Structure 1
Amino acid sequence: MGERPAKAGRRRVRWSRTLTGCPRKPGGHRARRTRHADRLDAISSGVGRHGWAGVVDDLPSVETTLSGPCLVAKVVGVMDYVAQPELRERLRQVIASGERAVVLDLADVSFCDTAGLNVLLGARREAERAAVALVLVCVPGPLLRVLEMTGADQVLRVFDTVADAEAALS
């Protein structure tokens, strides 16, 4: 950690250096991490900055229904790093339920980041191990663009409607 020479009238500031050796102002990364930590604390304690409603809206849910030869799992909420452990476990249970085809309905997903994408790809791997066909339906536009940009749409089968997926899987 280097120190810059002090100028007249200025106090000495110690700067940390990144891996590339470029100086970085203290607190920049820490401030972002604190906001995320606050969100994690709010969800785990049950009270968020917007009260109970803000916390409940952030928690994902997976509702399952049997439709023809497929088990339709409707994912509701946010698919991000906070929801990742719960969502991953819930999708693992859906895949292990014994059905030969699982349709993930993503119409009510309000946000998906790379952690959510990782959950979808992990669910695909779990489904392959269990010899279960896994497809996505009703994918929101922003998430569909992410799937296309990352190439995940080549690995995950995507359909417009549940009926289209059922027809392809039967």
Structure 2
Amino acid sequence: MTNCLSGKAFPHLRAWTIVAELDDPFTITGKAKLTKELQDRNSALWSLIGCDNIPGNTTGDPAKFVDLSIKALNTLGWKIDEEKFLEAGERIYNLTRLFNVREGFSRKDDQLPLRFRKPREDTGWKITPADFDKMLDEYYAIRGWDHDGKPTKETLERLKIER
């Protein structure tokens, strides 16, 4: 089992930020929020047993695929809107994190691959350990997790997750 954020197994599948970063790729600003939003969206979509390549290959826009998924669920009798759909993804992501925390994962395991610390050959840009710590602090705060990456009591209550 790998941690939600660790670079140990296919982290690009959890939040593929590449397209969203095209306008301003060489900054840490806004990346924590972007990552959280994409993780929640993908978790909700994956709960439908769908591949996240489908949005780009069918609609050209993952947001449209979210809309299509919500319409399909409502057609099947669910009463769900985008907010509730994404909240389901957030709940899934927090449940995954709780599992990982239970198994001993913590902040120490939330790391980028070492190659991100080395300057890129084409631009010289890199992510310093201080920048990564700053992004991780921001990410944990946005997620409603404590400094070590554990979901807070308030977050679990808001998402109606019982422990």
Q: TM-score range by the shorter chain?
A: under 0.3
Which one has a bigger Cα radius of gyration?
1
Q: Structure 1 or 2: larger helix share?
A: 2
* Structure with greater contact order relative to length (CA < 8 Å, sep ≥ 6): 2
Superposition TM-score, scaled by structure 1 size: 0.26
Greater share of strand? 1
